[in-house]
Structure 1
């Protein structure tokens, strides 16, 4: 009976040690299970492991002979304890906190076609290579007296910077519906990254505040920003992205598989990893969405009903308000410049003023360049606009 108890406890520990993975991948488990598991997994598994060791020592003291039968369950509980730490989303994708900015960005191992998240906020402009951000999923950085958390869910390619000044830095809490769950360091409240909304925790209900940003190639950054501030990176920061199981990531992205979101609950209007451009600006409630390849082909796409324009540059898309002084602009793309045909005003591809009558920058609109399956899952009322 005692042997059975030892094995039962070790198997319970093993289930707890791996639960952060299978609960994230099986939709039947609610997010609350992941939340409470986050707090109890280590104390329980440490208690089981130490309890079995102490129990074995007591039996040895009583019988003057070590119970050999206790070794397998001890090993199992020890493995469970290791897995409790190893199978932690926060360990697999460690968030960065206030990284160093390179003294000379030109000396960094950057290629012209590398995509970068460019955040201009609170008087500062900083650039982050996406191939670098992908390994961490979250980069927390200071923009003078503001704190911004740049989040990047690799599974659904949702890249979203949040102003987290009020709640503090974020880290990867878990994973659900093929999208990461982020949490704040101070209260450990869980938030669904793609929807911005809290799930459970001390701050619930609470909604994260997205800030506008742009995705540009390194070549476009150099052409539009004098002495760009880029996070310090090295060659090893651009290693191929991998999940804890080698080779698994390439198989996933080459398929229609969306771990954590079953095929029956996935919208199949388009292939799962179709790139789309969704409007996330809070001022635009309809949140329309476009196929990215169609926007790239058109170069510039006006939405006169909602007063914004999409501008394609290379392989990237950004959005701007297309009104000035209650007048609609007639924007076009000519080379690497945006031109208003009415006023002959000119801006660079970032919307920064160059010349002409309208002597101010274009106003950016928040968008998300992500996969179709994720966008429509978290924005079910979104209207697809075909060009």
Structure 2
């Protein structure tokens, strides 16, 4: 990797100061979205073992020296209460209401915070596929969309799932248009990981192919869903774990090419969602999935050559092997509104997951003299 994982103390101080200024410079109407494959919600809602000790001097010393429990509320507060926080791979059994309630409580404003600090609501999409989502006591997959309550009250028309997914991978927020904010459809996605494991019909349980083939089918279905929404006047944002690294710049030390099906999956994703040149190949049809959506990869849009990554597999030293597989995509019409995109790879932000949070900001205000292509990511601030 050609960048420092953590800047030296002086740079860290400058980054922190500039980060505060960055949030002041963004319009209050901006939509700030964070997305994170959290790889299991348990560390964020379970009681630390020290909470079971009696309250005495010895126990207090143990508590004070113990690592701080990961906190979603702290994450929201630290990043100035973003509009949206999308979580993937939350691993909650769909029948486990107590854990769902615990997550909802974990994002609420506690009594110790000022009343002007925002509150949040959440929407779950959990697996109900009895043939493909049965592992670990059905604690697999699952996404949760955490929405700032003032935004939900003012703009959100509905939060829904999609009828072609039974594995708990897709949550959709549809908004109403505001004075400056267009009508949006915002997807929280945990795309299928292509493997040679069998995929079963979600109704009959019959093996109908491999997970690779299901991945390609999900590409087609999502493309058609987005195409329909855009035809209905929505501008679309897709955020989450895409489970694809797009190009050599997105993989370290190299891009995965074996087995070759990974290459085909990558090409299919680019052709359907990103590569508008594929629309000039002479095979036009009225079907939504026949033409590339020509969406914008926000990070690559603002950082054409920057090497940065969102997935760091366990069992390797941090930074030895990594890929950019988490992304925020948007309709072409939103490209000029995207003013930030980046990743949070600090130890404080990446927590217990093998993925790090990513973010993008869409500013819908008219700011005289401000360039919408200005990028103020943490990585750029470090380079200042």
In the superposition, the TM-score normalised over structure 1's length comes to 0.23
Higher relative contact order (CA 8 A, sep 6+): 2
Q: Give the structure with the larger strand fraction.
A: 1
Select the structure of larger CA radius of gyration: 1
